[in-house]
Amino acid sequence: MERFPELAAELVRLKVDVIVASGNPAIIALKKATQNIPVVMTVVADPVGAGFIASLARPGGNITGLTNIAEQLSGKRLELLKEINPKIAKVAVFRNPTIPTHTNLWKETLDASQALALTVLPVDIRATDEIERAFDAIMKEHVEALIVLPQPVTTTNQQIVELAAKNRLTAMYPFADDVELGGLMAYGSSRTDLWRRAAVNVDKILKGAKPGDRWPVEQPKKFELVINLRTAKQIGLSIPPNVLARADRVIR
């Protein structure tokens, strides 16, 4: 990520017609590098809170595209954890307090936990060298489940996936990629769908449209539930048939 400013500056020097970027750190670098070249963002969390755009309806400036965050995702993730493992009572949440979106996601999770009679435990992770200590801490608290909020440090992190399985945690991840690595389950916006819709934005720009007040930033429309049955077997968990029937993809 430390190379993002350098790479953003290089694209500006090349005078490209449009830049497509994924993730908040990349958009931060591009926002500093150019106010003129159109930027199409995708898989970006809370672009308003991050200061990338003025509002979803009227973003202004040169940045448009899609956000991958939608309301009530946190509650749905907790509901799914409870549904596949009714015995859980305490859930750890891996978050980064320096990321504004995580503040909102944590509040949503806390609110949803009360209705489900669950205790949620916030665990702050800012760097990879904090991961092992984080697992040591949550296992001392007798946590049975885990939610991993999306951020570069923890997303598609093999160490987290392996430690969650080793400790037999009912774990929920933000993206299907985590489940392909061996994570138990993921529920969230479809990144494939977001990238396809980003291509539509690029097409508009190349045909002469300009980002601005009349071009709203879009929210996710398609969500996906992905379950890894191999991991479920490894941790001794039986996934209810009604949950499997709702899954968009099952890894066997």
User: Given this model, what pLDDT does residue 104 score?
Assistant: 84
Inter-CA distances, 112 with 25, 105, 108, 142, Å: 29, 11, 6, 21
pLDDT for the residue 88: 97
Residues (pLDDT < 70) of the chain are 70-71
Kindly write down the DSSP assignment for every residue of 145-188, as one continuous string. EEEE---TTTTT-HHHHHHHHHTT-EEEESSHHHHHTT-SEEEE
pLDDT the model gives residue 71: 63
pTM: 0.86
Question: What is the architecture of the domain spanning 73-189+224-251?
Answer: 3-Layer(aba) Sandwich (3.40)
Query: Is there a common fold for 4-69+190-221 and 73-189+224-251?
Result: yes
User: Is domain 4-69+190-221 in CATH 3.40.50.2300, yes or no?
Assistant: yes
- Every domain of the chain and the residues it spans: 4-69+190-221, 73-189+224-251
